[in-house]
Structure 1
Amino acid sequence: MALIVVCSAKGSPGASTTALALAAEWPRQSLLAELDPLGGDLVYRQGAEDGSVLDPNRGMNSLALAGRGGITPELVHEHSQRLPGGLDVLVGLTRPEQTNGWSGRWTALGRALAAPGTTDVIADIGRAHPGSPVNELLPYASLVLVVSRTTAEDLAHLRSRVASLHNVLSPAGRSGAPVGVLLIAPARQQAAAARDAAQVLAAGQVPAQVAGVIAFDPKAAEQLAGRRRGRIHRTQLVASVRQTIGSLGTQFGLGRVPEQAVTENESAEGVLQ
């Protein structure tokens, strides 16, 4: 498995929406893992494959109990649930205090999520900051994607956050996972946003590159959150996510599949409706 971590540099720029869209459109079999220590939202926004509601106690909560003797990829999948369309999800914690149950065990979770296999994991860890307990699993990531808006202050926070992430990913000078930046910008401003962000990163000598630009599409984001109906697979948001996945394949070798490969969540239309 490849472990692709998605986080935000500041506030709520759309990292969770981006993680869900990436996982739903991912060309290989994928698992969306909600690892934000402050809790996840999927259980409130999405339904289960059989038309029922997602179980808030099956996911990170139940895995913490079952994994006391060790965490394996098989155990992770036993505690995942499936959305309509075939996307598997590991539902996040429902209260911040439940993070105590994971104290000292994030490393084991990271090792399990990154273990060799056929499933890639898209992990939403929430806002990146130096004191986050989930940082313990970052050394097992294949790629860390930092989601940011494009205002001057957002880019300033982005530069600072990426620099601190690099220290976590590469302790004692060892080579760690690359860091890519995903920008949220209106479709007509994407080229300028990517250029400006690249200049800010280069000026600060920050070891990261712009990996893609996700369209700022509030209506599509509401559809993805389950608050609005519509054909989301034809929106600018999904089109930009597909383009970004192609870019990740070119830049980092991720998201590629053999020409004849078929995955369980090959069609994301059931998830993105």
Structure 2
Amino acid sequence: MLIALCGDKGSPGVTTTALALASAWTGQAIAVEADPAGGDLAIRLHPGGSTLPETPTVLSVATAARADREHDPVATHAHALNSTTGVVPGPVLAEQMANIGDWSPLTDALVRCAFPVFVDLGHLHSASSMLRVAARADLVIAVGRPDMSSVIRLRDRLARVAPHLAHLRGAAPRLLPLLVTTSRHGAADVADLRGILAETPVKPFVVDCGFLAHDPSGVRRLEAGEEPGGRLSRTDLLRTARDVTGRLESLTGSPATASKPSIVGGRR
């Protein structure tokens, strides 16, 4: 299963959302940072008090995928954030991401990964090199904020991108707008978003809407490698992330299975 996450200009939170959803998944999952503008997970994450090694990154996965040296390069090159979540960080600089060139081998590797993959594609637009990755995804999550300017930008971005995704897929894309907001206002913000999208041509492509709690404390604990099944599970961040992943399992028909190999013991 491949879930693509993207945002628009002024809509931070895509990387954190990918990380939270991968951690909240019922079973093993991997968050991959493939933002063409460069990534910051290698700097932000410190499981067990240690920063991640400089390599491997998504560049390592792309190189292995082009050489076809490994059956599952995504899982092979993932660092272990906690006992159920793997992470493939992106390089810090956009210039390094530009070296990938042909994204097809990496996209194929993401699709065939043995674990559910939540890939952060950054700012997605009709000329983005990430558009073909998004077109291969089972579902595209567009992350935004609840303020009106962000919602309008999200609406317009989806309306612009959806036809391009449909052309590349040869079928209608499946979109899920997700707002990063407070738990207190989440339900109302989602209701407002549904109302706004109902008046646009993008409505047939939208399979659901949801929200993820704005929870800086929970994010810090997640980035420190705290186990998602422990006390962290009671935070607003993981509680709302589990609500979203429950919907994803239903929408994609991809519930977690115990038969898949364990990601535990991956790179730390």
| TM-score, normalised with respect to structure 2 | 0.85
- Cα distance in 1, alignment partners of residues 90 and 27 from structure 2: 22
Corresponding residue number in structure 1 for 2:56? 58
- Per-residue CA deviation, residues 50-90 of structure 1 (Å, 9 max, x unaligned), is x6531223122333444443476523333222223242221
Shift of 1:172: 6.9
Change (3 A) 1:68 1:54: same
Corresponding residue number in structure 2 for 1:40? 39
Shift of 1:146: 0.5
- Cα distance in 2, alignment partners of residues 13 and 221 from structure 1: 14
Change (3 A) 1:71 1:154: farther
Secondary structure at 1:221 match in 2: helix
Corresponding residue number in structure 1 for 2:235? 235
Shift of 1:173: 8.3
Corresponding residue number in structure 2 for 1:132? 128
Contact kept in structure 1, 2:11 and 2:145, CA below 8 Å: no
AA in 1 matched with 2:13? G
What count of residue pairs does the alignment treat as equivalent?
A: 260
Contact kept in structure 2, 1:27 and 1:263, CA below 8 Å: no
Shift of 1:247: 1.8
AA in 2 matched with 1:195? A
Corresponding residue number in structure 2 for 1:83? 81
- Per-residue CA deviation, residues 153-178 of structure 1 (Å, 9 max, x unaligned), is 11110111111221231117821430
Change (3 A) 1:31 1:231: same
Contact kept in structure 1, 2:135 and 2:169, CA below 8 Å: no
- Per-residue CA deviation, residues 91-126 of structure 1 (Å, 9 max, x unaligned), is 2122110122211x21221122112x6311110111
Corresponding residue number in structure 1 for 2:111? 114
- Cα distance in 1, alignment partners of residues 253 and 69 from structure 2: 25
Aligned CA RMSD, in angstroms, stands at: 2.8
- Cα distance in 1, alignment partners of residues 168 and 116 from structure 2: 28
| TM-score, normalised with respect to structure 1 | 0.84
Gap runs ≥5 in structure 1? 267-273
Identity of aligned residues (%): 31
Which stretch shows the higher mean deviation, 139-148 or 172-181? Answer: 172-181
- Cα distance in 2, alignment partners of residues 236 and 88 from structure 1: 22
Corresponding residue number in structure 2 for 1:192? 188
Change (3 A) 1:62 1:165: same
Which stretch shows the higher mean deviation, 204-213 or 37-46? Answer: 204-213
- Per-residue CA deviation, residues 195-244 of structure 1 (Å, 9 max, x unaligned), is 1101111111213244321112232233334499x943221111111111
- 1:151-162 equivalences in 2 (<5 Å): 151-162=147-158
Gap runs ≥5 in structure 2? none
Contact kept in structure 2, 1:29 and 1:265, CA below 8 Å: yes
Corresponding residue number in structure 2 for 1:165? 161
Corresponding residue number in structure 1 for 2:246? 246
- Cα distance in 2, alignment partners of residues 157 and 262 from structure 1: 39
AA in 2 matched with 1:17? T
Corresponding residue number in structure 1 for 2:139? 143
